[in-house]
A and B are shown apart, each in its own frame.
Chain A
């Protein structure tokens, strides 16, 4: 099965990261990503720019409305994702738990709706 792992974290925390901590974090993600590539679980994954760069789009009565935001009501905002292939939910949860952000933020595990 395929799962999307949505990584949520505190953006303010991320904004105030020291260069050393930033390097350490990048190294941790590097190790994690290499690991799931080698195990054949990795399909895709990216870090996202913060919600201050986001634009929300709606179409109402045929008109496109693009607005600033969203502004997260909670502290934690979507900050990145991995798309993985896993045998079952237990394997997906095991992989999600190894994402560095799971230590301070959280990871939502969503099965992909496969169209066949």
Chain B
């Protein structure tokens, strides 16, 4: 074993699977986490000379033993009625029998159980996100807190409350039955997509976007052939592939039409493109993620903004409006329409959307309006719209982009 970095790597690779199995074996998130922590600590010395042939099995075995020790320790110091009741149940399950090899072995099912439990609809969305990143993504609490711009203590509390609810409300540790699976997958994907968009917009180190893609890959491996999963994974891969071109050397936003496409991550684009077709055909009608991925694929295939197949993009947005109407989709539809029917037609759509008040507070709406007005030569109105966008923008690179545009208009 070469140093702690290599050890870290082994831990990180096996942490989620080992934890997933341990939770099943000991019946409790906290106990399993505690046991796994101790197993990692023990491994740091035990593996100094040689890593066992099956590191994950080793971690599960040692982690389970440590968790049982913890139960016995706690049993001697039972104070609160609440823990007493909860642990009476854990005791029975965990001590009843030594698991046989097959039972103790990691099954892929365990990781699915963990994912579905973390993304259970009885938990708040923010709790689902925090739990998923902490347990499935194996991110330290401090890193999860940083990514969501909250204090570490706040995030730790959020995780404690979520785990307490799983225990107290009796949220089951299992993969949902077939009749509930599709709806629950939607819930999991909403969490993954939230992690991704948060990472895309406000996380320069791309911890979150990378985590979201990794979650998508794992889900796709565990539940293969499902349109929404393939669609979301493709969408994330294709969007994230543009990241190297999205900011210039000074950290300023470069819009899609001005990006140096040679900087795009080709390997990631290829991985994404290969998923688009199967995602679109896996279900009728296709999932909205699959259609969004198909739009991203048309951008990825085009050698320049001018070479892009805009009519097909407009058509795909129309499909999206039918299967999954939303004001954001409508705005994107209008923006794409500018490329086929001209800025005046697009502006009429955007103004109609704004008049309905559907996207109040969303900075992209005035930004799109501003861009259309600028192209129509209505500079004073364009400047006013950029100022609206500037007032709403949440991220500094965006604010600089809008200021630059204002400067270019001489305003």
Contacts and interface: CB of A to CB of B under 8 A. Distances in A.
Contact of B172 (A89, A111, A114): A89
B345 interface: no
Nearest to A94: B180
B88 A87 contact: no
Nearest to B168: A111
A114 B81 CA distance: 10
Contacts of A90: 171-172, 176, 180
B171 A88 contact: yes
Interface residues of B, number: 14
Contacts, number: 31
B121 to A, nearest CB: 9
A74 B170 CA distance: 29
B92 to A, nearest CB: 12
B122 interface: yes
Contacts of A89: 120, 122, 169-172
Main secondary structure of the interface of B (DSSP, over half): helix
A29 to B, nearest CB: 25
Contacts of A92: 170
Range of interface residues on A (Cβ < 8 Å)? 10 to 19
Given A89-B122, A93-B122, A115 B170 contact: no
A89 B364 CA distance: 41
Contacts of A116: 84-85, 88
Contacts of B171: 88-90
A1 interface: yes
Contact of A115 (B81, B120, B168, B176): B81
Nearest to A110: B169
Contacts of B168: 111
A106 B169 CA distance: 18
Contacts of B122: 89, 93
Nearest to A1: B170
A114 B84 CA distance: 10
CB-based closest 9 A-B pairs? A88-B172, A88-B170, A1-B170, A89-B170, A89-B171, A89-B169, A111-B169, A116-B85, A90-B172
Interface of B: 81-82, 84-85, 88, 120, 122, 168-172, 176, 180
8 contacts: A87-B172, A90-B171, A90-B172, A90-B180, A111-B168, A111-B169, A111-B170, A115-B81
Given A88-B171, A89-B170, 4 more contacts: A1-B170, A88-B172, A90-B171, A90-B172
